[in-house]
Structure formats: structure tokens, C-alpha cells
Amino acid sequence: MTSKVGRSTLKMNSSPAIISYGAVAGKKESEGPLKDHFDKTYSDDYLGQDNWEKAECQLQKDVVSITLEKANLKADDIDIVFAGDLLNQNISSHFSLRDLNIPFIGMYGACSNMAETMNMASIFVDNEAAENALALTSSHFCTAERQYRFPLEYGGQRTPNSQWTATAAGSIIVGPANRAGPYVKQICIGKIVDMGVNDINNMGAAMAPAAADTIRTFLQETQTKPEDYDLIVTGDLGKVGSRLLIELLQQDDITIEQQYNDCGLLLYDLKRQEVDAGGSGCGCSASVLCSYILPKIKNGSLKDVLFIATGALMSTTSFQQKETIPCIAHLTHLSNTQWEEEE
């Protein structure tokens, strides 16, 4: 059963377990530092499909089937699935899930999707509205580029602050608290923050204030400090946004540098792989969480982790209409222990 810690922070009193997780990744991602951690990798962008949208859909299909298999579950064992992606009208999620016949809630939080869907899955399980709930998201470099930026054939130059949309997908199953962890202990629901950034080639800078707002709110409401966590990891702020986040929090005397990292910096070797400011996309934080962070919590090398996935909520239309970029960050407090064990 859930209780309110503050307006934004909710405590999952049963500490639901993440009973399974999976991550799949594209060619570039599988040549990066996390290459040995993914459940499946691909050597071309099409995954044997006719077009990139179907390829992204295939990423999701594969990661769901891997995640189910690792838990020895079938689609029918899942009570509800929360999913979303970056494509207009969430088509990757709708087409990947349409044959599975699972009650479905569509979500949109741009690159914050992994935390947003995991948080909703946790609320459902914590309150016994679901026994097993699936959270799912993905992104694909080629589908995102052609939807948000330029046709790839055009060969446009990238700016040094731009980030590389990951071709990857991640999914987790939140299940009963009596199963082995990692566990979800708390969640913090982000607010929309828009500090007036309008450069769509510098998403990290646009999203950093939203991440700062959520981290600040969570620490205040829980009366905890950065030192209480082994890792504070954002979704895809990249090089520019990460630096900004550290500075923004420092202004409020919150020092996170010791514990801090960013999935967009973990996924690639920035210089060697020429990804400019780092990785981005729903699949970036999702695949890093599900391949690298969750296993470390499971094996005890990380104890308490704050996972903060960040999303930029503009569209090409709003950009063309000269709007600034509203952003959001949702936080999940993950742990290798449950509330019962401590209190």
C-alpha cells in the first residue's frame, strides 16, 4: 500500500520486486562500454524489417519476450502493461503489443518513459491492483532522426551539443514483494519545468532544470541527502546537461558529484564513438537501467539508487512555432533491501 511522503513523493510500503528485466541494443550501442551487458544486440538498423519503424517495434517485441522468458512467465501472466515511446502516437508500443492481449495503458513522457512506466507499474503492484505489471519503452536512432530532425539521407551536420538517440529498448516486470529484488521503495512524480531553452540540439540543457527540480523535491520530502544513495543517475542529460544539473543543485547547497552519473554518458564512449554530448532517447536510460544498473543492485554492489529519467516534451510543431521546451523528470528509488528489513 502506497503512502504519501510529500506532494510528489510516494512510498511503496510493500517494496514491490523487479522480478525481471531485459535490454536489447543496436549496433553502435553494442560497440560501446556496455557491450557485454545487453541480452541481445543487432548488427543492422533494420532488424530484418521493411522500415525503421517496424525495426523499433521489433526491438520492443524482442525485449518483452526476453523479459518474460527470464521470469518464466507468459504474456497471459501479466495483468497490465505500461508503455510509450518517442514516435508520434506511440506507434512502436501499440504495434509491438497488439498481439499480446494484455490490458494496456499508453503513456507519454518522452525520454522519461522508463521511470514513468516503472513508477505506474509499481503503484499498481504496491496496491494489489496488479500481480505482475510490465513497463516498456524504446527508441531508434533512425526513426527519431527522421521524425524530429532531418531525413537521414540529407546527411545534416550535427552540433557539438547534440545527443545521439539510442537504438535500444528496455523492459521490466514489477511483481510481488515476496520475490527477490531489486525493489522499488519510493517514486517521485516530476513537474513540467520550462526554463526558456529553445535549442532542440541541446536537449541536455533544456532538461537539466527538470531533473534538478525532481531531485531537490525528493531529497526535501524524504529528508535525505545525496550521501544516502550509492548512485544518482539521470536518463539522458549528456555532457552539457549533466554539468548544468550539478551546478543547479550546487546553488541549493546540494552536492551530488560523488554519487552522480548519467545513462547518456554510460552508454557510449563519447569521443571514440563520435556521439557528441552523449546518448539520449527513451531506449538510452531504459537499456542502461536494465543491463547495467539493475544487475548491480541485484548483486549488492549498489544498495540504494535514484534513477531519474528525463524527457523533453516539445514537438516539431511547437518548435516551428518558436515555443520553448517544457521538460520533465520522474524519479524511482531502487534498492536491494525492502522497507520491512530496515524498520
- From 31-39, 269-277, 284-292, 320-328, span contacting a copy of itself (CB under 8 A): 320-328
Query: If binding is defined by CB under 8 A, does position 97 make contact with a copy of itself?
Result: yes
Using CB under 8 A, which residues numbered 76 to 95 contact a copy of itself?
A: 79-80, 84, 87-91, 94-95
Query: If binding is defined by CB under 8 A, does position 309 make contact with a copy of itself?
Result: no
Q: Which is nearer to a copy of itself, 180 or 192 (CB)?
A: 192
Using CB under 8 A, which residues numbered 114 to 153 contact a copy of itself?
A: 116, 120, 123-124, 127-130, 147
Distance CA 232, CA 333 (A): 9
Query: If binding is defined by CB under 8 A, does position 191 make contact with a copy of itself?
Result: yes
Distance CA 25, CA 291 (A): 10
Sole binder of a copy of itself in the list 54, 140, 185, 333 (CB under 8 A)? 54
Q: Which is nearer to a copy of itself, 7 or 225 (CB)?
A: 7
Contact between residue 309 and residue 140 where contact means Cβ atoms under 8 Å apart: no
- Per-residue interface string for the shown chain with a copy of itself, residues 236-275, x marking contact by CB under 8 A: ----------------------------------------
Q: Which is nearer to a copy of itself, 17 or 55 (CB)?
A: 55
Query: If binding is defined by CB under 8 A, does position 51 make contact with a copy of itself?
Result: yes
Sole binder of a copy of itself in the list 69, 156, 192, 225 (CB under 8 A)? 192
Query: If binding is defined by CB under 8 A, does position 199 make contact with a copy of itself?
Result: no
Sole binder of a copy of itself in the list 250, 299, 301, 316 (CB under 8 A)? 316
Contact between residue 9 and residue 217 where contact means Cβ atoms under 8 Å apart: yes
Contact between residue 203 and residue 163 where contact means Cβ atoms under 8 Å apart: yes
Give 164's strand partners: 279
Q: Prior bond to 182 cis, omega within 30?
A: yes
Sole binder of a copy of itself in the list 23, 328, 335, 338 (CB under 8 A)? 328
Least separation in angstroms between CB 302 and a copy of itself: 27
Positive or negative, the CA dihedral 5, 213, 275, 243 is: negative
Task: Count Cα neighbours of 332 within 13 Å in the Cβ-side half-sphere.
Answer: 32
Query: If binding is defined by CB under 8 A, does position 45 make contact with a copy of itself?
Result: no
**Encoded amino acid at 175, one letter:** G
Residues 6+ apart with CB under 8 A from 301: none
If you write DSSP's letter for every residue of 4-53 in order, what string do you get? ESSSSEEEETT--EEEEEEEEE-TTGGGSTTTTT-SEE-SSTTTTSSSHH
Distance CA 188, CA 218 (A): 6
Sole binder of a copy of itself in the list 26, 32, 109, 283 (CB under 8 A)? 109
Sole binder of a copy of itself in the list 10, 144, 177, 294 (CB under 8 A)? 10
Of residues 130, 143, 134, 142, the one with CA closest to residue 90: 143
Contact between residue 81 and residue 133 where contact means Cβ atoms under 8 Å apart: yes
Q: Which is nearer to a copy of itself, 129 or 180 (CB)?
A: 129
Terminal-to-terminal C-alpha distance of the chain: 16
Which cell numbers hold the place of 115?
521511470
Q: Which is nearer to a copy of itself, 107 or 135 (CB)?
A: 107
**Encoded amino acid at 266, one letter:** L
Residues in the site for a copy of itself, rule: CB under 8 A? Answer: 1-4, 7-8, 10, 50-51, 53-54, 79-80, 84, 87-91, 94-95, 97-98, 100-110, 116, 120, 123-124, 127-130, 147, 189-194, 313-318, 321, 323, 326, 328
